[in-house]
Structure 1
Amino acid sequence: MLSSGKSILKTFLRNRYLRAAARLFLAPVFGFLSLAFLLNFFFPLKVQLNYSPLVTAADGTVLHAFLNHNQKWRMKTELDEITPTLQKAIVYKEDKYFYRHPGVNPVAMFRALFNNVVRGRKTSGASTITMQVARLMEPKERTYSNKLVEIFRAMQLEYYFSKAEILQFYLNLAPYGSNIEGVKSAALLYFQQAPNYLSLAQTVTLAIIPNRPTSLVLGKNNDAILKERNRWLHYFRQEGLFPEKEIEDALQEPLIAKRHAAPKFAPHFAYRLLRQYPQQPIVRTHLDRQKQTKTEVLTNNYVQRLHSLGITNASVLVIDNRTRKVVSYVGSADFEDRENYGQVDGIRAVRSPGSTLKPFLYALAFDRGLITPKMTLTDVPTDFGGYQPENFDKKFNGNITVEKALAYSLNVPAVKVLEQMGVNIFVQQLKQAGFEQVKKDERKLGLSSVLGGCGVKLEELANLFATFANEGKYAPLQWIKTDSLAKSIPLFSPSAAYLTTEILAQLTRPDLPNTYASSMHLPKIAWKTGTSYGRRDAWSIGYNKHYTIAVWVGNFNGVGAPALTGTEIGTPLLFDLFNALDYNSSNDWYTPPAALAFRSVCTESGLVPEEFCQNEQMDYFLPGITQTPKCSHLRRMFVSADEQFSYCRDCLPANGYIKKFYPNEPRELVAFYERERIPYQKLPAHNPACSRVFAENAPFIASPADGSEYLVEREEKQQLLLSAQADKEVKKVYWYVNDKFYKEALVHEKVFFLPEPGQIKISCADDKGRSSDCFVQVKYLN
């Protein structure tokens, strides 16, 4: 075979006539190809279709459509939306030989040229689909020279793109009158369906309009369009293009078409993604259309009921905990409500978080072995270097367990835990969790940050609570389908996540709304509420294994409302949403991690029991991490037989005394009991005949805070508070200002004085001769 081919080639080369003929044939071909190459080099093909941006839901349906830069609706028709029916109808009507020619149909062109020149009449049909694409990409006046350009561009298109892609270009550029271009735009705006969901009748309707977009306008010329549609259906029947039954059904189908508004669902979400992905014609998201509808309706209806309370808006974010996908996004109760700033996106707004960061603090403290659920903390008035937090109800609870402190959202215990752990650790972990404003303000943040003294976004809080639902592993939210799953970051351990979740799932708590009884089918959830200073922000964020739902309620103008609290305003909406989105679901709950263990602790302190501890209970702890101090809630004392006096070892008599256990309460707790007149077992006064004074038991100056700077209003004559904590046997204290005697007072009596500007020395001495000092700086504001 090979030798035969060589023989033929040799014969050809020896024949000079054949060689001459080859030159004559190849010369123009080579010239044409050279010319085409040069033209392609100097006039490259540029395909920029300028699509209308689309944001789609998880199921592919269009959530929101936007006009393109030319103020036209040109929605991208994807290849999988071009059904065989649509493909056949368009190709058979516009260009039967589309799949056979190289972009130009010579027979049709010569026929059109003959009719135009010889017969003097115009004949349509010379332009192939490829040539129409070239013309629609670069609209020009109809001239012979421009027709040559069109032919050249058609050949370029055929060279660079497949037939399927060229057909896709045509279906995206086909005119449908007014500012509507492309079959997808027409399908959505006239039939409210994607192209791949159209019937045969609807498909043929859209196939016939591009040639006559001004005279066949859907919604205006429906009768004429119906006749034209049926004419083509009869033609397709004759050609056997579609089954007889389908043709018959299509002929019977009425034409019901009018122009509808473009989809404008989930507007805040759509505008956000439009800004985030400006170059993508279609942004494919994970938003669940059904859940989004329920969330929007519930939020809008709920806020309508709040208007009489001076509360006008709300924002909601729903996350699928298993994937971190955003499935519902409601930026405001009503996007069109201009009076109440409905176009503000509350999910992205920076606001005070109230108490919503407390669970994160306690989780971090569990991991560092600082606390366990049953450990007790003191909830009493405390001055933290000039910062004096109060609880929401302005009351204090004395001794309280960690789990109750979190469940009841108490402020002083949280600040104590933060002070013990360190603000820097807390802030650094918040930065790890993606809190942007915290990153900006980290140098300014102090102990108040856990009570709302920092700026957060609803989406940041939502993802933080989703981290609890995922055993302490943080990962970025998944907004669109092309997002890559980032490696998760462990913010805290599964053990800390479980302990915190168990506390937040308790139903014995003050932030249970009055409407809870009506939530019969509410799935088991853990949740936390928060209310910012001035009642400007009400938060309620809950989670289970399935979803995390974050709710913010308030006013976008920043005005507070007396009724605005996380408990009574935020949580009812949270419960409604869980009832709607996870209704009556199985209570698939979290199980204790293997790293957690139980230990017996003293009921009074939550610490490892001593021999005097009479009541014990079981408590979780992290072996090898949790601190193991021994309980000291009691101390053994030497007292007189009548229990009127106590003795130290220096004044202990040879006989006539007994040993007895007394509560070993911290000074601040004793001061609280005294001030509130709460009965407690007091240690008998120390032996008055004892001459020894213990320097380490000098009174502690609780206010003002040592080393603090105070800014005071001169005209308002602001005074500073003097308060001290002293030993139980101390009855009176003596105050000195700059080494000058100021006032004698009872131990727990509040004393005030008017300061002068500058550095001030404050001294406090007790009736045993012991004293302590502190220094403060005072500045006048005017």
Structure 2
Amino acid sequence: MSRVIGTAKGRSRLKLALAAGLGLLLAVAALDRLLPPDTSRYDDSSRLVVDRHGEALRYLPTSQGIWRLQVDPDAVDPQYLALLLAYEDQRFHRHFGIDPLAIGRAAISNLAAGRIVSGASTITMQVARLLHKPRRGWRGKVEQSLRALQLELRYSKRDILSMYLTLAPFGGNIEGVHMASRIFFGKVPASLSLGEAALLIALPQSPTLRRPIDNPQAALAGRAQVLTRLAEAGMIGSAEAAWAKAEPLPRERQALPFNAPHLASAEARRNAAPPIIRTSLEASLQRKLEQLARQEAGWFPDPATIAILVAEIPSRRILAAVGHHDFAGPQGQVDMTMAIRSPGSTLKPFIYAMAFDAGDIHPDTVIDDRPTRFGTYLPRNFDRQFQGRITMRAALQQSLNVPAVAVLERLGPGQFTAALQTLGVTMALHQPNEPPGLAIALGGVGMTLRDLVGLYTSLADNGQYRPLSASDPAIPAAAMATHMFVRPAAARQVGDILANAPRPMGIQGIANNLADRVAYKTGTSYGFRDAWAIGYTDSHVVGIWVGRPDGTPRPGAYGSNTAAPIMFHTFDIIDGRSSDIAPLPDSEPHDTQAPSPRLPPQALRNFQRNGSVIAEGPRILFPPPQVELALPADGNDRVVLEARGKQPLRWYVDGAPLASRSQGNNAEWLPSGPGFFRISVIDAEGRSSSVRTRLVKGDGR
């Protein structure tokens, strides 16, 4: 009878235990549904932007200014993980968030010592505390334990370990093993020394007290305690522990990588950007070009900003992006690769390309470069001089304004603008509610350096346009339609013209410039506010902008003398720079619609303009503008001046009538001495022309 009763009592106890367990599970399930875990701190990760090879470019803190990067356990030194679990939670992979054996051991140890000498918190319980910051006392411990059970129900052990590696505190605004390793040791946590691993295990136990830079003695003691316990447990040898205890502590915070800060910030701001963002940039090239920009900016006599953008043509991926040469300087956080600025003359190649493609002109079509009025618009060349009869090829190479405006008028500024906007290019019209005007040919529109570089890739790639991208080159870019901006023949004709343009003064002397045939175009906006140089080879496109972000004029700063040298230096630095533009073949494959590269047909020999030609005023032939002349050796010889214009011609020096003997187009001038002089001439109809020159002594002084 007693046996039967015992069996019945045992069954009753078992039922009660099962009911209690089921009740606990139901309670936990109810808690999980009513109060789901708050993982917002874990989700609010720092961002790490890396180059195409995984090299760090820039870290960005969390929204709260914390350095905390999500950590995958596979990205951490296996020895560190093994030592961490051995020290903090030996049964991590076997318990369910709470470790009853650890609780029992801790209770026995604390009772024997008469005080708390050991805790029983598992790594899961620590994660619960880091996520929720429970109340103090026994109620907080209960809440922490329930949250630990909840985490174990919802997440895998790997996920929970990742949370700990991400959230563990290391003092101040440093959280997580990745950022701690970067800031204390200057490296990622994939290859830690034993002493480094032990320090990272010891710090979260008392992050403020044991901060190695502020409290080195406490940090040494904490690390030694970890190493001693691991040696006693047989995880490491005593000799290893002794060596690790002798490792020096970090004395200062290591600087985090800080390259491509503008592009990195833009990539990190993208919706749903992951903690680690891989880009198409080349870190080594980026660093070299940032250094180049700083060096070149130091040569300018006034404060000026340099922006550089480099893209590879086949993939349309950005290799380097310098938004400002001095991120910490005035207006340094403005990304000038994305700022809307006047492009100056850099759109002229696209005007000619569309006209070539339409069959309106040929590179050897002759146009008369003379003063011309287009309605109320009267464009002038940059040097206020006119070249007369000239080919379209030479007009583009010399960046003449009247021919470009005449060709744009033939195309139609509305059609030209629409063609670029169809590609997705931003064109900020000065008066958006009015039709585009002819001033677009000379920079009367707003564009970004990134869009301009993207446009030039189409000329380099047989007229095919695709937008630039900075995304990971290992991941296929989102399907982007390829637009045929112009046909290949027209693109190659423009490329051949630009590749044969004379280089600006001094460029020929740049050392190691292997890209001998760079197709390039410079530009200067109205008032010297923007200086541009954009060039390409068969493999790369380089875009340079020089100016001031606030639009302050820089008189005398042209694209040719400020931006072009930087562009050619950049080609010196780029790998694969010897892949230059191939010469135009003698003949193209037959294409009845595309213009031939050979002599133009009879109908395209001369360009008939629609604008009204204005009678040309006088032109000073000697001295040429902006040159230095040597004074006659004996001081008595006269300088012979020469001009062309409707006679009689009247001459002036610095506004005073010239006392000279005039002979038709020539005049003689007896200078008073060295210095700067403004020489002017007025023709019979009152039209004038002027040049500024400098006279120096024969020894150059």
Contact 1:63 1:264 in 2 (8 A): yes
The counterpart of 1:540, out of the listed 530, 533, 538, is 533
* Structure 2 residue 358 is matched with structure 1 residue 373: no
- After superposition, the Cα gap between the structure-2 partners of 1:502 and 1:249, relative to the gap in structure 1 and judged at 3 Å, is farther
* Structure 2 residue 447 is matched with structure 1 residue 456: yes
Aligned to 2:470: 479
Deviation digits for residues 17-60 of structure 1 (CA, Å, limit 9, x no counterpart)? 99867644532333222222211111112211222333333333
What displacement does 1:16 show? 9.3
- 1:369 aligned partner, one-letter code: G
* Structure 2 residue 63 is matched with structure 1 residue 63: no
* Structure 2 residue 177 is matched with structure 1 residue 183: yes
* Structure 2 residue 201 is matched with structure 1 residue 210: no
Task: Give secondary structure in 1 for the equivalent of 2:62.
Answer: coil
Contact 2:134 2:144 in 1 (8 A): no
Structure with more relative contact order (C-alpha pairs < 8 Å, separation 6 or more): 2
- After superposition, the Cα gap between the structure-2 partners of 1:246 and 1:423, relative to the gap in structure 1 and judged at 3 Å, is farther
- After superposition, the Cα gap between the structure-2 partners of 1:190 and 1:461, relative to the gap in structure 1 and judged at 3 Å, is same
How far apart are the structure 2 equivalents of 1:150 and 1:144? Answer: 10
What displacement does 1:449 show? 0.4
How far apart are the structure 2 equivalents of 1:591 and 1:234? Answer: 73
Q: How does 1:262-281 map to 2 (within 5 A)?
A: 262-277=256-271, 280-281=274-275
Aligned to 1:130: 124
- After superposition, the Cα gap between the structure-2 partners of 1:399 and 1:92, relative to the gap in structure 1 and judged at 3 Å, is same
Which of 411-420 and 128-137 deviates more? 411-420
- 1:549 aligned partner, one-letter code: V
How far apart are the structure 2 equivalents of 1:53 and 1:247? Answer: 35
Contact 1:353 1:455 in 2 (8 A): yes
Aligned to 2:656: none
Identity %, equivalent residues: 35
- After superposition, the Cα gap between the structure-2 partners of 1:562 and 1:70, relative to the gap in structure 1 and judged at 3 Å, is closer
What displacement does 1:137 show? 0.6
Contact 2:324 2:336 in 1 (8 A): yes
How far apart are the structure 1 equivalents of 2:312 and 2:93? Answer: 46
Aligned to 1:82: 76
The counterpart of 1:506, out of the listed 488, 491, 500, is 500
- After superposition, the Cα gap between the structure-2 partners of 1:149 and 1:21, relative to the gap in structure 1 and judged at 3 Å, is closer
Which of 428-437 and 288-297 deviates more? 428-437
- 2:454 aligned partner, one-letter code: N
What displacement does 1:354 show? 0.5
Contact 2:490 2:594 in 1 (8 A): no
How far apart are the structure 2 equivalents of 1:564 and 1:137? Answer: 57
- After superposition, the Cα gap between the structure-2 partners of 1:426 and 1:289, relative to the gap in structure 1 and judged at 3 Å, is same
The counterpart of 1:529, out of the listed 522, 526, 529, is 522
- After superposition, the Cα gap between the structure-2 partners of 1:476 and 1:27, relative to the gap in structure 1 and judged at 3 Å, is same
The counterpart of 2:593, out of the listed 618, 624, 645, is 624
The counterpart of 1:570, out of the listed 563, 576, 587, is 563
Task: Give secondary structure in 1 for the equivalent of 2:408.
Answer: helix
How far apart are the structure 1 equivalents of 2:91 and 2:76? Answer: 19
- 2:564 aligned partner, one-letter code: T
Instruction: Work out which of the two has the higher radius of gyration on C-alpha atoms and give 1 or 2.
Output: 1
How far apart are the structure 2 equivalents of 1:54 and 1:488? Answer: 31
Deviation digits for residues 186-230 of structure 1 (CA, Å, limit 9, x no counterpart)? 111111111114333322221221112122111233344345435
Contact 1:407 1:504 in 2 (8 A): yes
- After superposition, the Cα gap between the structure-2 partners of 1:629 and 1:255, relative to the gap in structure 1 and judged at 3 Å, is closer
How far apart are the structure 1 equivalents of 2:607 and 2:617? Answer: 15
Contact 1:462 1:548 in 2 (8 A): yes
Task: Give secondary structure in 2 for the equivalent of 1:579.
Answer: helix
What displacement does 1:130 show? 0.6
Q: CA RMSD in A?
A: 3.5
Which of 221-230 and 520-529 deviates more? 221-230
- After superposition, the Cα gap between the structure-2 partners of 1:666 and 1:419, relative to the gap in structure 1 and judged at 3 Å, is closer
* Structure 2 residue 384 is matched with structure 1 residue 394: yes
Aligned to 1:352: 342
What displacement does 1:131 show? 0.5
Contact 2:499 2:581 in 1 (8 A): no
* Structure 2 residue 406 is matched with structure 1 residue 416: yes
What displacement does 1:270 show? 3.1
* Structure 2 residue 284 is matched with structure 1 residue 313: no
Aligned to 1:515: 507
- Matched residues, number: 611
Contact 1:513 1:571 in 2 (8 A): no
Task: Give secondary structure in 1 for the equivalent of 2:148.
Answer: helix
Aligned to 2:332: 342
* Structure 2 residue 150 is matched with structure 1 residue 156: yes
Contact 2:174 2:180 in 1 (8 A): yes
Contact 2:128 2:147 in 1 (8 A): yes
- After superposition, the Cα gap between the structure-2 partners of 1:34 and 1:256, relative to the gap in structure 1 and judged at 3 Å, is closer
How far apart are the structure 1 equivalents of 2:366 and 2:618? Answer: 21
Task: Give secondary structure in 2 for the equivalent of 1:77.
Answer: coil
- 2:361 aligned partner, one-letter code: I
Please, which runs of 5 or more residues in structure 1 have no aligned partner? 1-14, 599-619, 635-662, 679-747, 753-782
Aligned to 1:292: 286
Deviation digits for residues 639-691 of structure 1 (CA, Å, limit 9, x no counterpart)? xxxxxxxxxxxxxxxxxxxxxxxx9999999986897799xxxxxxxxxxxxx
Q: How does 1:667-678 map to 2 (within 5 A)?
A: none
Task: Give secondary structure in 2 for the equivalent of 1:392.
Answer: coil
Aligned to 2:166: 172
Contact 2:134 2:143 in 1 (8 A): no
How far apart are the structure 2 equivalents of 1:581 and 1:664? Answer: 40
- After superposition, the Cα gap between the structure-2 partners of 1:749 and 1:416, relative to the gap in structure 1 and judged at 3 Å, is farther
Contact 1:380 1:668 in 2 (8 A): no
User: Please, what TM-score do these two structures have when normalized by structure 2?
Assistant: 0.79
Aligned to 1:553: 546
How far apart are the structure 2 equivalents of 1:467 and 1:632? Answer: 28
Aligned to 2:679: none
How far apart are the structure 2 equivalents of 1:176 and 1:166? Answer: 18
